[in-house]
């Protein structure tokens, strides 16, 4: 009788462990993304005009998935910058940074990452695929502006900063990189954030959670290491 009871408890605990890991894997790669209205309201903006920008050209760029964005042509054309938002956000969240570059004569391109906003993709992978998307976007931007590589840069906010580091590591000819709070390593970051949000016991779930996330989104979380790409810039 005791053996059956222990076996039943073991099966129940295993089911709970597996189910919880599957749930958190979904939170990791299939998270809820904010709407444009939410982001504009958070920043007290109605649109680009609030930060001194003209109406943008809405673009769709063929990368690994279709990437949507806003392109702002600056008549001075001194430089160009591709801007990447943070986790669960979208291009509207980049408006608060725009004047820094616009006033210096830069063309601007604000994009929605894959799985965010109006871009394609079914999962977010924190840079595993996004760094290649952004590299394709940079090539498109270079043709669009006609600027040399040393006058074209990347700006990233939070997760967007981490992705920008990885892209710059792939393309060392990029002229400059401006980063606001990138994470250094995906596994360390999501483990830390998970414990902050759900408590330290979550660390027990992380091995299987990461395996499920890797399987669901077909990527390798161990390869998402902005700090290793930073050494290549």
Written as one string, the DSSP assignment of 133-153 is: HHHHHHHHHHHHH---GGGEE
Q: How many Cα atoms occupy the beta-carbon half-sphere of 233 within 13 Å?
A: 18
3 token code pair:
């053996």
135 token code pair:
């590299």
89 token code pair:
């956000």
CA gap 88, 4 in Å, rounded: 46
- Which pLDDT score is estimated for 15? 85
DSSP 90: -
User: Angle at CA 51, nearest 5°, toward 154 and 42?
Assistant: 85
The pTM of this model reads: 0.93
- Which pLDDT score is estimated for 12? 75
Total count of residues recorded for the chain? 233
Q: Which residues contact 19 (CB under 8 A, 6 or more apart)?
A: none
How confident is the chain (233 residues) per 10-residue block, as mean pLDDT?
Answer: 66 83 95 97 96 97 96 96 97 97 97 98 98 96 94 97 96 89 95 89 91 98 95 88
Question: How large is the angle between the packed helices 206-217 and 2-29, nearest 10 degrees?
Answer: 50
């Amino acid at each position: 009788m005791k053996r059956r009871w222990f076996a039943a408890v073991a099966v129940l605990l295993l089911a709970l462990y597996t189910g919880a890991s599957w749930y958190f894997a979904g939170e990791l790669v299939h998270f809820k993304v904010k709407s444009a209205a939410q982001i504009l309201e958070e920043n007290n903006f109605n649109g680009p005009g609030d930060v001194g920008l003209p109406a943008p050209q809405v673009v769709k760029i063929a990368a690994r998935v279709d990437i949507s964005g806003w392109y702002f042509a600056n008549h001075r054309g001194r430089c160009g910058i591709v801007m990447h938002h943070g986790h669960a956000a979208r291009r509207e969240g980049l408006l608060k940074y725009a004047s820094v570059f616009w006033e210096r004569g830069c063309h601007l391109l604000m994009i929605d990452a894959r799985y965010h906003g109006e871009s394609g993709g079914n999962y977010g992978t924190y840079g595993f695929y996004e760094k290649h998307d952004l590299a394709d976007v940079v090539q498109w931007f270079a043709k669009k502006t006609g600027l040399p590589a040393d006058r074209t840069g990347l700006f990233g906010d939070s997760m967007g900063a981490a992705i920008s580091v990885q892209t710059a590591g792939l393309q060392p000819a990029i002229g400059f990189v401006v980063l606001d709070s990138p994470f250094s390593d995906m596994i360390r970051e999501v483990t830390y954030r998970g414990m902050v949000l759900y408590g330290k016991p979550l660390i027990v779930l992380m091995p299987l959670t990461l395996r499920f996330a890797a399987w669901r989104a077909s990527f390798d979380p161990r390869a998402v290491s902005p700090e290793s790409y930073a050494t290549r810039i």
